[in-house]
Amino acid sequence: MKLTAFEIYKYSIPIEPFTIATGTMHFAQNILVRAHTDAGITGLGECSAFPMIVGETQATGYEMAKDFAAIWKGKSADDIAGRLAELHLYTAGNYTIKSAFDMLLYDIAAKQAGQPLYQYLGGERRKIETDVTIGIDTAENMAASAVKFQDQGFNIIKVKLGKSPAADLERIASIRKAIRPETQIRIDANQGWTFEEAVYTLGQLAQYNIAFCEQPMRTYNDELLPELCQLSPIPIMADESVYTHRDAQRILKNKAARYINIKFAKSGGINEAILINQVAEQQGVACMLGSMMESRLALTANVHFAMAFTNLAFFDLDTCLLGQLADPVTGGFKYNGMQLEITDAPGIGADVEQGYLDKLEHITI
């Protein structure tokens, strides 16, 4: 089955401003790629650029996607490993836009097999419960958001930190005071602290019953993570420190994290996510499946992946709840409170309204 044409869209989605330690986003900088085959099967892939994390933007992804489409046009969609190897040979990094092309191949493969993606990946239906994230704001506003989400039925609150230790301590104290003791709090510093700040802040935050902390320091401080893991009463989860399975091998060999956060847009898609999870599982390390600012299309692929790999113990698949002001996706998963539910439609089982896409900048290769 040959790939015959590619439609590439600057798939922008307006959002309410969302702030983390490294910056504020005002719209989801996504790319959507629809691939056609000579068998009449189409595959869709979506990625979400987060420039302050991955160094890619919607504009760079759009230009690179044109090159990827030209490389793949006329070639077999069945050879997933071969197609991805071509992209890695063509350019180093650029994992975000690579993840969209990876995803569309898996969509095609599952559709050809007549299976929903989770079955194609060898999985079964299971309970998937997401957390919900609170962006950086005043302590008062963040506590109010936590109460709102708790009242909506969420059991797990993820809190963005990393601006300053004093303010971060105030934020968590306010949130913990406002919500029920049994409501879980996870924190994510997004590389915002120095080593000394991380040691101090994590020590102070232990009294608030924190499940774990994602990425407390800049990745150039990875050599300090083993020491931080020993000093911190709160377990450390590596996020930006793990892009590929080789990063996972390095981090786990050095005992530099208790958990790993896997994200398609950070690591290049499903194929690499499988490898990262394998490395972690072999070391007895549980993983979280996270997300950037994807629409329900890419998030549906994430839910399929979550069902396929039981070593994934934590889920951060709430991006559509973080103030997205449009939902042009048809089919796909649905939020049932904190639970994520999908259908058994073949492949990813989601598409995007063509009328929405027609208004966007796009090109056909």
- Who contacts 79 (Cβ-Cβ below 8 Å, separation ≥6)? none
**75 classed as catalytic:** no
Based on its alpha-carbon atoms, the radius of gyration of the chain, rounded to whole angstroms, reads 20
Q: pLDDT-derived band of residue 341, with 50, 70 and 90 as boundaries?
A: very high
Cα–Cα dist 195/201, whole Å: 10
Q: Above 70 in pLDDT, residue 22?
A: no
Q: Is the pTM of this model over 0.75?
A: yes
* Catalytic choice (111, 160, 255, 334): 160
Number of C-beta neighbours around residue 357 at 10 A: 17
The distance between the two most distant Cα atoms of the chain, rounded to a whole number of Å, is 60
Q: Above 90 in pLDDT, residue 228?
A: yes
Tokens read off for 313: 């113990």
Q: Summarize pLDDT for 103-150 with one digit per residue, the tens.
A: 999 999 999 999 999 999 999 999 999 999 999 999 999 999 999 999
* Catalytic choice (98, 111, 263, 266): 263
Give the residue numbers of the binding site for Mg(2+): 188, 214, 239
Question: Which residues on adjacent β-strands are paired with residue 8?
Answer: 33, 363
What is the pLDDT, as a whole number, of residue 322? 75
First-to-last CA distance in the chain?
Answer: 18
Cβ-contact 216, 188 below 8 angstroms: no
Q: In percent, how much of the chain has pLDDT > 90?
A: 91
What is the pLDDT, as a whole number, of residue 324? 78
- Who contacts 264 (Cβ-Cβ below 8 Å, separation ≥6)? 47, 99, 102, 103, 270, 273, 291, 298, 301, 302, 305
Give the residue numbers of the binding site: 188, 214, 239
**160 classed as catalytic:** yes
Q: Above 70 in pLDDT, residue 365?
A: yes
φ/ψ region of 54 (left if φ > 0, alpha if ψ in -120 to 50, else beta) reads alpha
Compute the mean pLDDT over every residue in the chain, rounded to the nearest whole number: 95
Q: pLDDT-derived band of residue 159, with 50, 70 and 90 as boundaries?
A: very high
What is the pLDDT, as a whole number, of residue 244? 97
* H runs (alpha helix) in 75-160: 80-90, 95-113, 117-120, 139-151
What is the pLDDT, as a whole number, of residue 325? 82
Domains along the chain? 2-114+352-364 (3.30.390.10), 120-350 (3.20.20.120)
Q: Above 80 in pLDDT, residue 17?
A: no
Where does residue 43 rank: exposed (0-12), middle (13-18), buried (19+ CB within 10 A)?
buried
Question: Which residues on adjacent β-strands are paired with residue 339?
Answer: 129, 336
- Who contacts 284 (Cβ-Cβ below 8 Å, separation ≥6)? none
